[in-house]
Chains A and B, each alone.
Chain A
Amino acid sequence: MAKLILMCLKFMVLCSTVEAVFEDQVGKFDWRQQYVGKVRFSHFDTHLQSSKKVLLATENNVFASLNTRTGELLWRHVDKIGPEGNIDALLQHGQDALLVVGDGRLLRSWEINVGGLNWEIVLDSGSFQSACLIGQQDIVKHVAVLKKTVISLHYLSNGHQKWIENLPESDTVDYQAVYSGGNGDVYALGVVPHSHIAIVVYSLEDGEIIKQISVEAPWLSNIQASCAVIGQGMLTCVDSATVSLYMLDLDAQSEMTQIPLQSLGLDVTPGFQPVLVSTQPNPAQPPLSEFFLQLGPEHHLLLQLNDGQIVTLRDFKPAMLVSFATTGEKTVAAVMSPKNMTACTINLFSAESGRRLLDTTLIFNMDPNVGKPEKLYVQAFLKKDDSVGYRVMVQTEDHTLTFIQQPGRVMWTREEALSDVVTMEMVDLPLTGTQAELEGEFGKKAAIQDGLFSMVLKRLSSQLILLQAWIGHLWKLFYDARKPRSQVKNDVTIENLSRDEFNLQKMMVMVTASGKLFGIDSKTGSILWRHYLENIPSNAAFKLMVQRNTAHFPHPPQCTLLIKDKDTGLATLHVFNPIFGKKSHITPPAMPQPILQSLMLPVMDQDYAKVLLLVDDQYKVSAFPSTKNVLQQLQEMASSIFFYLVDSSQGRLSGYRLRTDLSTELIWEVVVPTEVQRIVSVKGKRPNEHVHSQGRVMGDRSVLYKYLNPNLLAVVTESTDLHQERSFVGILLIDGVTGRIIHEAVQRKAKGPVHVVHSENWVVYEYWSTKSRRNEFSVIELYEGMELYNSTVFSSLDRPHAPQVLQQSYIFPSSISTMEATLTEKGITSRHLLIGLPSGGILSLPKMFLDPRRPEIVTEQSREENLIPYAPELLIRSEWFINYNQTVTRVRGIYTAPSGLESTCLVVAYGLDIYQTRVYPSKQFDVLKDDYDYMLISSVLFALFFATMISKRLAEVKLLNRAWR
């Protein structure tokens, strides 16, 4: 036994390849970008004048702090996904930031300088409504948290609960807001919709109810949406139905006073719900008596409450966004108003008087690729001469944050849309201009008519250009070599983009959920273009396809994005150039019918664009592009074009064949009963996958041929019964052309989420075993046997023999987030599985460990085959992490693309962060090492050369001398 273990160990040591990066390789070909997501709350640190921090709480449950000078993250805390980590409120006081998390589950206090947690307490259950800092006599010591049924007060210093009180009549009254004016009272404001407002006043000291008022308000349904407290405890509400303001003194009155907006000379844009914006610079002081009233999408008013009278300080029309900001004792209002089609101006106004402050105009250039501004965050500060200066952070529709300084200098932008990448593709970069010229010389048919002489001239001139470019390149190399490495900057712009020698640099086209498309250089990670698609529904499904790559000069590369609105089923196509991001002049076809799926054919039209078939809900097919040439080709090939559709709601898999008139006929159907199990995912093979070896060499030197069915689909099902004894995971291998079930496996007592990778002749899937309470990997491999049925063509319709199926399972010590297999140009390199772990690591697991032929008993033959003896546990070895300490938070997908080098595979992991690197599954067998000693080798070579020359000469002399003797 000991011998066996020793042998196993030896095998492990021998078979493992060291893939960890060396210290000096860090950041050489990999990069990471960290994002926070769409901002929900933001506060500038106003505690210190010189502070450079802005706090952000986002919809992705991230709480972070940015450096306002550079836009870089100072620190970031990522909470759980989903409602459990949802950030409900962000309050800031001095050095502390208070966060209510998970629908009022937790109250946390953070130290904002370093991002450390001061304290965290668990709140009583109940859905969260509102939170507010409570101050008394200019000192803020408490925070009040209002929930559905209770109100509680906590100390800011340690989070301990001071008191907790039940709210009276909480079953009928909907308490929505909590307010304190700094006088020792805490007001809980509730509403019985369309009936009355209930106000409960608690004493700060012991939580005793001081007062309880009920005020008639039959028009009010939501306090938070339409009310604000202004001035000395004056609850002000706006109602669009009666077009009036209602005011109530929280301390004295018991009835609301109605002020019709007409009496102020104002009217509301029809159909618009007016909004009130007030400001309370210091929680220990009552709010200011100035407030904004928004009457239309682009109409704001600065109003003032003066002795119970509403005074209009200033009318802003048009004004898109307004915001208050306070610095020191001064409160200012920033107003953004459109200047022209492409720019907005932001001006600062004194809140007290409504006067415009001098020299405070700031111009915000609206990029058409950014969308409309959505929110305005203002950082005000006092200049040396006591005037107010400011910087603004504008959040636009596409979740971009732009930080602007006067008079309009953009200090930084953060593309937060990239925190939610949906799908991506990597496109080869085009050849350089000179190379393209060479191509053009031989590509054009017209050149033949030019005659011999002009052809020679052309050839010479293009060679001259190439020479010139080469000399320029050499000069640049020489010039850069003299500078220290840190100063050399390779600024990549769209103009100087070109394919490198080994095609390692590519364009990453990323589609984000907000509908913004990005073109990112894979080498440096710099964003080269962005394009914002407006009016993208929030639940849209995207499918990105490369119709024409860069190989067909002078035709530009072409990508097509299919955007489908899941509600209506209607789809649109966005056709664009993936290198420049520009929308193509080709008009995509109008699609009046809902689209079910699309299918990219390997057929090209005369412009080398691959044909895209769109299947609508009538199972009719339309082609794009649909020229005569294409339609003719389609007619010829129709009988060999098949497609399959999977409807997981009905549990139906169906296969169709194309008819020559572009209608379809159903040829097979498999129904998975939805009451027992549901289809979770369907994985085919990647169309750009190459398999070099058609079989595996056995120990006796015979061949076990792989079953390489390009039409094979792996269908994963999960049981609807989630009881741990009865739940199961099923996997079906179906031929997509004939509908024949090749193999079926059921994993009993197993549960999803199932991650599956389907490639070559194997399927790897991962599930949770409820029986053993662990994560397990299972691998299925398909073999044709010792004989190939037909080595020249593969047709699913002519396959009389069923393949041999081998399966093995393993225990994996961690849960996983996503999984993908490496991909190389020719498929010679061995394969690795790239596994994204919830811890943020990306593991590169050799496929050789997931091999159903791993023997339990080692024999001579298995040793000959280099099979590792079976061990149920798969270990995670730290050198397998390809991203060392560059954690990729919440990795959602991994994209792999082949490079021009067979050994190298490009990897992009995306989630909240984006990480790009290269992997070498079989090490860099086709490249000299980074640390290859050119100097030594060349000096040895030269030395040897000279030594031979000299010794030859010496030998001659010696021979001569001997001859003379």
Chain B
Amino acid sequence: MASPGGQGGGALSTRGGGGARRMKWALELSMGNTRSRGDRQGGQGDVVYPIGFSEKPVPDTSIQETDKNLVEKRCWDVALGPLKQIPMNLFIMYMSGNTISIFPIMMVCMMAWRPIQALMSMSATFKLLESSSQQWLQGLVYLVGNLLGSALAIYKCQSMGLLPTHSSDWLAFIGPPERMEIMGGGMVL
């Protein structure tokens, strides 16, 4: 514990330099405190802040009313985001093919997961669009874009054969039929 004490002492000494200078330097070895505690104590207790200084940060509440168009534009960006991704997705879909292997599966998962995630956090997005005047329209566009994205993912699943749409997909769940008659016999012994 020698070195933290020493360092703490160093800190104190510099601070001491900032405050009322009583001596050239001082070493406080008997302080059993850690550095951080010493710092905080020093910050709260010893230092007198300048006037108007607040320890808590003050939020910037000033709204720029002037550039409303910019906000509008930004909101439309958010709303049109999913729609803009669709051509990209289509391209990826085309490139990855219909074989079932690890990469196409990963892509399909990503494609399916992103719109779902977006739909789940719909309320957060709406908060984002709150400031816009066309909030509802933008929300609708955003929703449609995401739905289109997920539809695309489903279509991809379908073309890869991952959807249980055929009767063969349910074959394993058909149990053996119950026998109505009991039959037996054989050649005359």
Contact = CB atoms under 8 A, between A and B. Distances in A.
Interface of A: 541, 543, 562, 564, 566, 571, 595-603, 613, 615, 637, 640-648, 679, 681-682, 684, 690-691, 693-695, 697-698, 701-703, 708, 710-711, 736-737, 788, 790-797
B65 to A, nearest CB: 48
Main secondary structure of the interface of B (DSSP, over half): mixed
B174 to A, nearest CB: 5
B161 interface: yes
B185 A644 contact: yes
Contact of A793 (B161, B178, B186): B178
B176 A690 contact: yes
Contact of B167 (A562, A703, A736): A703
Contacts of A693: 171-172
Nearest to A646: B187
A647 B188 contact: yes
A792 B186 contact: no
Interface residues of B, number: 22
A701 B189 contact: no
Contacts of A603: 182
B133 to A, nearest CB: 51
B189 A562 contact: yes
The residue among B167, B177, B184, B187 with the most chain A CB atoms within 10 A of its own CB is B184
22 contacts: A562-B189, A596-B188, A599-B185, A600-B184, A601-B182, A615-B185, A640-B181, A641-B183, A642-B183, A643-B185, A645-B185, A647-B188, A679-B187, A682-B186, A682-B187, A694-B174, A694-B176, A695-B174, A708-B176, A710-B179, A736-B183, A793-B179
A571 B188 CA distance: 12
B132 to A, nearest CB: 46
A918 B80 CA distance: 65
Interface in B158-179: 161, 166-169, 171-172, 174, 176-179
B155 to A, nearest CB: 17
A894 B179 CA distance: 28
Contact of A792 (B161, B171, B178): B178
B177 A793 contact: yes
B182 A701 contact: no
Nearest to B3: A964
Given A543-B189, A596-B188, A701-B166, A644 B183 contact: yes
B177 A794 contact: yes
Given A644-B185, A797-B181, 9 more contacts: A543-B189, A597-B186, A644-B186, A646-B186, A698-B168, A701-B169, A703-B168, A788-B174, A793-B177
Nearest to B176: A691
B31 to A, nearest CB: 18
A643 B184 contact: yes
Contact of A571 (B169, B171, B189): B189
B180 interface: yes
Nearest to A694: B174
A599 B169 CA distance: 39
The residue among B166, B176, B185, B188 with the most chain A CB atoms within 10 A of its own CB is B185
Contacts of B187: 597, 645-648, 679, 681-682
B131 to A, nearest CB: 44
10 closest residue pairs by CB, A with B: A599-B184, A795-B180, A643-B185, A701-B166, A644-B185, A697-B168, A794-B177, A541-B189, A711-B183, A694-B174
Contact of B171 (A682, A703, A711): A703
B105 to A, nearest CB: 19
A647 B188 CA distance: 6
A68 B11 CA distance: 104
Main secondary structure of the interface of A (DSSP, over half): strand
A566 B174 CA distance: 46
B175 to A, nearest CB: 8
A623 to B, nearest CB: 13
Nearest to B180: A795
Contacts of A642: 181-183
A646 B177 CA distance: 28
Contact of B182 (A598, A640, A644, A708): A640
A597 B189 contact: yes
A126 B45 CA distance: 133
B14 to A, nearest CB: 20
B187 to A, nearest CB: 5
Contacts of B176: 690-691, 694, 708
Given A693-B171, A698-B168, A792 B185 contact: no
A643 B177 CA distance: 21
A829 to B, nearest CB: 15
A694 B171 contact: yes
Contact of B177 (A541, A602, A708): A708
Contacts of B169: 701
A698 B168 CA distance: 8
Nearest to A564: B189
Interface string B19-50: 00000000000000000000000000000000
A795 B181 contact: yes
A571 B183 CA distance: 22
Contacts of B177: 708, 790-794
Contacts of A645: 185-188
Nearest to B161: A701
A647 B181 CA distance: 23
The residue among B169, B176, B188 with the most chain A CB atoms within 10 A of its own CB is B188
Nearest to A795: B180
Nearest to A736: B183
A637 B188 contact: no
Given A695-B171, A697-B168, A737 B181 contact: yes
B92 to A, nearest CB: 25
The residue among A601, A647, A702, A794 with the most chain B CB atoms within 10 A of its own CB is A794
Given A596-B188, A697-B168, A698-B168, A797 B182 contact: no
A595 B174 contact: no
B180 A702 contact: no
The residue among B171, B176, B183 with the most chain A CB atoms within 10 A of its own CB is B183
Contacts of B171: 693-695, 697, 703
Contacts of B168: 695, 697-698, 701-703
Given A694-B171, A792-B178, A796-B181, A702 B189 contact: no
B2 to A, nearest CB: 12
A496 B68 CA distance: 90
Contacts of B180: 640, 793-797
B177 to A, nearest CB: 4
B179 A794 contact: yes
A736 B183 CA distance: 7
Contacts of A698: 168
Contacts of B189: 541, 543, 562, 564, 566, 571, 595-598
A644 B185 CA distance: 5
Nearest to B4: A964
The residue among B171, B172, B180, B181 with the most chain A CB atoms within 10 A of its own CB is B181
A823 B180 CA distance: 24
B186 A641 contact: no
Contacts of A711: 181, 183
A647 B184 CA distance: 15
Interface string B126-158: 000000000000000000000000000000000
A695 B180 CA distance: 20
A684 B186 contact: yes
A788 B173 CA distance: 14
Contacts of B186: 597, 644-646, 682, 684
Contacts of A644: 183-186
